[in-house]
Amino acid sequence: MRLLVTGGAGFIGANFILYWLKHHPDDEIVNFDKLTYAGNLENLSSVEKNPRYRFVQGDICVSKDVVAAMDGIDTVVHFAAESHVDRSILEAAPFITTNVTGTQVLLDASLKAKVKRFHHVSTDEVFGALPLNTPDKFNEATAYDPRSPYSASKAGSDHLVRAYFHTFGLPVTITNCSNNYGPFQFPEKLIPLAVTNLLEGRKVPVYGDGKYVRDWLYVDDHCRAIDAVLTRGRVGETYCVGGLTEDVDNLTIIKNILTIMGKDESQIEYVTDRPGHDRRYAVDWTKINKELGWKPENDFQTWLNLTVAWYRDHEDWWKRVKSGAYKEYYAKQYKSAL
Ligand code: NAD
Ligand code: TYD
């Protein structure tokens, strides 16, 4: 395969490129990334000289650049997005531009290039929120009910991808996955923010009562799920991907991290809640399990221990990421805690 990976300098995209080059020794990858605040080529320093890997800086909203990058490509894996809910609350416009318009530009270029597969990476957040203490889970038949500018923009992109399948016959697949965690995640998201704050001797900001539930998926498990869908999935289909089979709330995760790091609960700081905060996400991943034999490789505790260890061992990486513009974002987002 010759893959165009969009957003490959971000968290999941970079993990995916490293995973794919290792497990598919005959394939070539072009990484197309704008390098926004979230893009970091340091994530890919171990493969930058690999002859099967090439980086192209570009914006998925700019048609001529996308068309040029698509030359010789047979498979598109689309990660590029504005991805953080809190930033979408501070400013929605870049989310609509990149996530909706950018996806449409990419779909048009993919049609023109006659790619054999367009895989779209989406989120469980398009399904809205579930109540606490119910057995309900999201699955492929759940109606869309996005509630933040981020999830609304991702829902728009999902609809466009399906529209290009039905209207133009573009061979698409979609995965809607839950919250990822693991190496190279930008420390604006809960787990890397908590771990790196604690390593810096700072407290962990917990929104509201902390009794919000997410389904947690280790990034490598996610990469294997995309691999299963790309190599064995059915065109036109959507697959939900999740990591946990039991609910775990944010406070429990933070306490777990405190224990791993030998800290106590005085390091928790309750801060103003996120507006419109979705109470609970849970994903039923029966379809991908039954059809493609995918399941998470390890349990949450094993992956969480490894993740904390990775940030402990990569202080240079996150210290660089947390300098500069990150400080301005942190001051704006967490002003109630400063
Ligand atoms: P990220 O924010 O870490 O990385 C996004 C990448 O996209 C960055 O490298 C950035 O430079 C690039 N990018 C942004 N705008 C661009 C543009 N206009 N043109 C080209 N490149 C652009 O995101 P992530 O956490 O790696 O998420 C990747 C994908 O997975 C996103 O589509 C996101 O919606 C989806 N997703 C993420 C999670 C999660 O927990 N992180 C969960 C479900 C789904
Ligand atoms: P986040 O990592 O931003 O992912 P998402 O909003 O896409 O689920 O947040 C995960 C959960 O953690 C969510 O319930 C919000 C909460 N949270 C905090 O309590 N404090 C924080 O500083 C952050 C970033 C998130």
**Rounded Cα–Cα distance for residues 258 and 309 (Å):** 13
With a pLDDT cut of 90, the percent of the chain lying above it is 98
Confirm or reject: Cβ of 177 under 6 Å from ligand 1: yes
Confirm or reject: Cβ of 186 under 6 Å from ligand 1: yes
**Is 188 part of any domain?**
no
**Is 307 part of any domain?**
no
Digit-coded pLDDT (tens) for 66-88: 999 999 999 999 999 999 999 99
Binding-site residues, ligand 2, Cβ < 6 A: 85, 179, 189-190, 193, 205-207, 212, 214, 250, 274
- pLDDT confidence bin for 338, thresholds 50/70/90: low
Nearest one of 199, 319, 267, 10 to 327, comparing CA atoms: 319
Tokens of 21: 């080059």
**Is 28 part of any domain?**
yes
**Is 92 part of any domain?**
yes
In which domain, by residue range, is 150 found? 2-181+216-243+282-302+326-334
Q: Give pLDDT, residue 161.
A: 99
Q: Are 216 and 181 in contact (CB under 8 A)?
A: yes
CATH code (residue 297): 3.40.50.720
Q: Identify the nearest ligand to the CA of 182 by its number.
A: 1
Please tell me the total count of domains within the chain.
1
Residues annotated catalytic, as ranges: 124-125, 150
**Is 158 part of any domain?**
yes
Q: Give pLDDT, residue 220.
A: 98
Digit-coded pLDDT (tens) for 98-135: 999 999 999 999 999 999 999 999 999 999 999 999 99
**Is 6 part of any domain?**
yes
**Rounded Cα–Cα distance for residues 146 and 131 (Å):** 15
**Is 123 part of any domain?**
yes
Q: Identify the nearest ligand to the CA of 124 by its number.
A: 1
Indicate the pTM of the whole model: 0.98
Digit-coded pLDDT (tens) for 277-329: 999 999 999 999 999 999 999 999 999 999 999 999 999 999 999 998 999 99
Greatest Cα pair distance, the chain, in angstroms, is: 57
Digit-coded pLDDT (tens) for 20-45: 999 999 999 999 999 999 999 999 99
pLDDT mean over 160-171: 98
Q: Is residue 8 classed exposed, middle or buried when 0-12, 13-18 and 19+ CB atoms within 10 A define those classes?
A: buried
**Is 265 part of any domain?**
no
